[in-house]
Amino acid sequence: MEYRSSVLVIGGGIGGLSAALKLAQFCDVIVVMKEDRFLSSTYFAQGGIASVFSKEDTFESHIQDTLRAGDGLCHEEVVQSVVEEGPIRVRELIEIGVSFSRNAEEVAYDLGREGGHSQRRILHAEDFTGREIQRALVEAVEKAPRIRIFENHIAVDLITTEKFGLGRGINRGVGAYILNRGTGQIDTFLSHFTVLATGGLGKVYLYTSNPDVATGDGVAMAYRAGADIANMEFIQFHPTCLYHPHAKSFLISEAVRGEGGILRLAHGEAFMERHHPMKELAPRDIVARAIDHEIKRTGNDCVYLDVTHLNPEFIKKRFPNIYEKCLSLGIDMVQEPVPVVPAAHYACGGVVTNLKGETTTPRLFACGEVACTGLHGANRLASNSLLEAIVFAHRIAEEIRGEYDKDIAQEALPDVPPWNPGGARDSDEEVVIAHNWDEIRRTLWNYVGIVRSNKRLMRARHRIDNLMKEIDEYYWNFTVTGDLIELRNLSQVADLIVRSAMQRQESRGLHYNIDYLRKDDRFLRDTLLKKS
């Protein structure tokens, strides 16, 4: 089946839904969601969204905190423009119904503080900010008459004019092939513009805070379509995921440390003071490395986050979601420390965009975690991700509006052949997918994790090369399924991460290589990957 629209948005988190809402003001939009409309990385965001809302805070302070965290690789013009535009976009979220927590007097917003921030500037909805933002956006999108939502659909590949020799001149995006997970049919979605808002790639690692949908689909598809990719070596590991056999991917928010939580070893010793002067409020890369170091040094399985010295009623009110989750697992966080470990959390690299959200492939845009805008540099400042997503979603809508006004709406979409399965047949060896998925994730975790070395990276490169060949052969021989699409994308993303890490022969931000312990100004630049 073939579907046509002015804009195709792939992804249903804060970036995709925000862009769709604004695009629907002047054109028709299709939003494709991998699962249902509430399953996105946005939904699971606990901490909040960073923006200057306090009289004690300034744009310059937020800018400097972001640059400091980014360790020399942030694009300063991007940082300045995002920070200064941020409050306007946050107020737009409030206007559509997002209810951020207020102080005891219900007058001002209750601004939190997280690692790397010099001021309180985190707007939050208790400790389930993402859930509240997702709720409001979904309700708004459902009321928008020009938006069609396709749930349980996963993109297979982007369609470009070059792919089928369509048109002349510059290669441009014209939509995507999309798998209907219910019917197993691959349909053609054609559009004048395509927006990638597919989120992250945390599932490429064995341990991650990300939901199961975070398999790097957007980055992999964009790379295959010829778009530039950058800074894939900078994978942020959140320092504090709950360590419990029945707590899959549950995050203990950075805000817990922002409110005074202390990291301790099993015998009670606080250890962050010997790693950084800001102690628990140091940037995430430093805290994650410190925990990793202490776990390896002591041989323990985890460290502990202690809030037992804080007011119990404050903890229960400020972190109701975390408190109840811990309690359900037999951990009363107001009475005992919470066991935590680092886990893959956020990709600071991705599909290269300019200040308008345009990728290097014309009419293909990207926003949110899938994009590399230049805001985060070598390490993302806490709670800057939701901010980046709404700012670039707005800019993409404005840029498309400008292009749309140039009579592109009247331009005929090309005739694209339907998906051709060739001689593919149903697989009788699904175990191959599960085995390769597990091997990719273990390889990345063991060799391209928080601490790396040249030897580990070479081992990873060799293993990922072999896996990619095996997966590629499997992909073209058997019927495409959702699991196979994700496996193919994970292998591509793993390859990009390893290649990027091998290129950066220094330690900077989230990339820490024990063979190059110092920063080297020769690498004071983005790591760019172009499809050969």
Q: Which residues are catalytic?
A: 284
Measured distance CA(325)–CA(140) in Å, rounded: 29
- How many residues in total does the chain contain? 532
* Helix, strand or coil, per DSSP, at residue 284: helix
For residue 473, how many other CB atoms are within 10 A of its CB?
Answer: 10
Across the chain, which distance is largest between two alpha carbons, in Å?
Answer: 69
- Tokens 């949110």 -> residue: 368
CB 36 within 8 A of CB 151: yes
Q: What is the 3-state secondary structure (H, E, C) of 478-504?
A: ECCCHHHHHHHHHHHHHHHHHHHHHHC
Cα 239-383-58 angle, rounded to 5 deg: 125
Query: 352 — phi, psi (to 5°)?
Result: -65, 130
Query: What tokens does 448 get?
Result: 């391209």
- Measured at the CA of 50, the angle between CA 48 and CA 51, to 5 degrees, comes to 135
The residues that bridge with 528 in the sheet, in sequence order, are: 230
Number of H helices and number of E strands within the chain?
Answer: 13, 17
State whether residue 129 is helix, strand or coil: helix
Task: Tell me, letter by letter, the H, E, C secondary structure of 6-40.
Answer: EEEEECCCHHHHHHHHHHCCCCCEEEECCCCCCCC
Strand partners, 179: 154, 186
